[in-house]
Amino acid sequence: MGCKKYFTLSFDDGVEQDKKIIALMKRYGLHGTFNLNSGLFGYRPKLFNINRIPKDEIKQVYEGFEVASHGARHENPRTVSRRRLEASIAEDIEELSGLVGYRVKGHAYPYGFHTAAGEECLRGHGVLYARRIRGSGSFLFPANPYRYDPTCWFNAKNVFRLIDGFIQARPENGDLLFMMWGHGYEMDYGLRKCPEDQLERIFSKIAGRSDIVYCSNKEAFERDLQ
């Protein structure tokens, strides 16, 4: 079989704006992964519009999309004890798996911070991959899937140039992967000065191409197992 190009999306924190993102993804035939904190369901902070989706809506909202773990309460992997880190990962995986009806196989590190202890724990729970947040600008699959740097953030200055490069790329020496990540709330309140139509512009540009496999994060990393 020839080499393929995979495109996937990854959004963190399980916020209300995910509902709009999912509707837009469905419109353009895109797939992806949502990384949730099971200990923060329904949390509504006083500042900004970062309201978490309630527990009783999770299964319905994310039906048809991969749910992955993100730490039960978004604990910082670099500052909590190893015991607390391991408990956070285990609690999140078990709670989310029970809610969605399948075993959670992916993880996004809170704050993007990888640690050796966290990686070891994820491996022990059968997780296949774990994502950080620093954009790599690369279309290559990582040598270590537990230290994966996404291609870019969805509001990166060079996002459209990277998309053009991916569209033109030919996977002659191995499969290629474009993973774009972000938070749904970044579209709403201007903290990052993200254009309101940013995601739709991205989706319309990348969607509908016969040479690209549109998939979840897990499906991209499972490609060698299929």
- Residue identified by tokens 């704006």 is 17
**Which residue intervals of 101-133 are DSSP H helices?**
116-124
Scan for tokens 């998939």, then name that residue. 215
pLDDT of residue 108: 98
What element of type H or E holds 10? Answer: strand 5-12
Q: Is 144 helix (H, G, I), strand (E, B) or coil?
A: coil
CB of 42 within 8 A of CB of 52?
A: yes
CATH placement of domain 5-225: 3.20.20.370
pLDDT at residue 45 in the model? 85
The residues, any chain, with a CB within 8 Å of residue 143's CB and separated by 6 or more, are none
pLDDT < 70 stretches in the chain? 1, 47, 189-193, 224-226
Summarised one tens digit per residue, pLDDT across range 62-84 is 999 999 999 999 999 999 999 99
Percent of the chain with pLDDT over 90: 88
pTM over 0.85: yes
The mean of the pLDDT values for the chain is 94
User: DSSP class of residue 52?
Assistant: B
Domain segments of the chain as ranges? 5-225
| CB distance 11 to 187 below 8 Å | no
